[in-house]
């Protein structure tokens, strides 16, 4: 019962936004979490048939293996839980720096990193440089200054976003994570920290939303180079 009308493809349970690439410069990305295998199969086919790149975030092992059988070229970033089937030779431009406060924040950072790479951005990673040992990030000022845009991924108290922002002239995107326990309240502490940043130049996305940070950073980075 597929129908292509008015800029979307109607699968009944989903309306694939086939117009998005024209409107927004990048096709729809599929949020795999909670979708059935059958739903994913139908959605995937729609993208492939339309010749759109297929990107699935928050995919689990079972979902990935199922689709991998159908589309053997489907790739996976296991840390970032993103699967994708895109043209091979996309040219990467610019420079986005992704920083984490701790080791536990890396999966969310990788979600951002893969998103950026698929969208054609160069990515630099700087992991585990939280404020408990501030010399680690101060030691990398050169990296900080060379970035067009910086993503800071941090759980617990999330203080790193303000600190980094205070050192650079580029825009900083804060990603609070749910890493921590107790009065962390599932990422609330880090979220509030970043929202209340005393350093201008910081914006925030949802807790654990590496994809959203990567997507936004791509808009900023590519705009600067376009």
**Pair 128, 100: CB distance under 8 Å:** yes
Q: At 162, which helix (H) or strand (E)?
A: helix 160-165
Contact (CB, 8 A) for 86 and 53 = yes
Question: Which 8-state DSSP code applies to residue 91?
Answer: P
- Closer by beta carbon to a copy of itself, 72 or else 220: 220
What is the CB-side half-sphere exposure of residue 127 using CA atoms within 13 A? 11
Give the shortest CB-72-to-a copy of itself separation in angstroms: 25
| Chain residues 196-215 in contact with a copy of itself, contact rule CB under 8 A | 196-209, 211-212, 215
Closer CB to a copy of itself, 70 or 139, in the complex: 139
Give 70 or 132: the residue with its C-beta nearer to a copy of itself: 132
Give me the helices (H) in the chain, please: 20-24, 37-49, 61-70, 106-118, 135-138, 141-146, 160-165, 188-195, 210-225
The residue within the footprint of a copy of itself, chosen from 123, 129, 147, 153 (CB under 8 A), is 129
Q: At closest approach, how far in Å is the CB of 53 from a copy of itself?
A: 14
**Residue with Cβ nearer a copy of itself (25 or 73):** 25
CB of 81 to a copy of itself, least distance (A): 12
- The correct pick among 14, 48, 93, 143 for binding a copy of itself (CB under 8 A) is 14
Q: Is 80 in the site for a copy of itself (CB under 8 A)?
A: no
82 belongs to the binding site for a copy of itself (CB under 8 A): no
Please count the residues of this chain forming the interface with a copy of itself, following the rule CB under 8 A: 96
Q: How many C-beta atoms surround the C-beta of residue 211 within 10 A? A: 25
The set of residues, in sequence order, having a beta carbon less than 8 Å from that of 18 and lying 6+ positions away, is: 4, 7, 8, 9, 27, 28, 46, 50, 52
Q: What is the DSSP letter of 153?
A: E
Residues within window 42-61 making contact with a copy of itself, judged by CB under 8 A: none
**131 near a copy of itself, rule: CB under 8 A:** yes
CB of 63 to a copy of itself, least distance (A): 14
Q: State residue 13 phi and psi, 5-degree precision.
A: -75, -10
The token duo for 138 is 């101060």
Q: Which is nearer to a copy of itself, 33 or 65 (CB)?
A: 33
């Amino acid at each position: 019962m597929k129908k292509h009308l008015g800029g979307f493809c109607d699968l009944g349970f989903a309306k694939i936004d086939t117009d998005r690439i024209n409107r927004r410069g990048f096709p729809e990305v599929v949020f795999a979490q909670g979708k059935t295998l059958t739903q994913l199969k139908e959605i995937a086919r729609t993208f492939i048939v339309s010749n759109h790149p297929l990107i699935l975030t928050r995919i689990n092992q079972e979902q990935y293996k199922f689709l991998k059988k159908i589309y053997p070229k489907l790739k996976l970033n296991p840390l970032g839980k993103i699967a994708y089937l895109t043209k091979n030779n996309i040219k990467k431009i610019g420079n986005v720096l992704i920083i984490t406060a701790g080791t536990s924040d890396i999966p969310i950072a990788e979600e951002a990193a893969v998103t950026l790479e698929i969208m054609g951005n160069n990515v630099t990673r700087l992991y585990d440089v939280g404020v408990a040992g501030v010399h680690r990030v101060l030691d990398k000022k050169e990296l900080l200054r060379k970035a067009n845009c910086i993503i800071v991924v941090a759980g617990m108290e999330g203080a790193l976003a303000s600190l980094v922002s205070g050192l650079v002239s580029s825009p900083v995107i804060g990603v609070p994570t749910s890493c921590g326990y107790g009065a962390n309240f599932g990422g609330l502490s880090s979220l509030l920290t970043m929202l209340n940043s005393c350093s201008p130049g910081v914006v925030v996305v949802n807790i654990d939303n590496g994809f959203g940070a990567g997507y936004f950073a791509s808009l900023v980075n590519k705009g600067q180079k376009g």
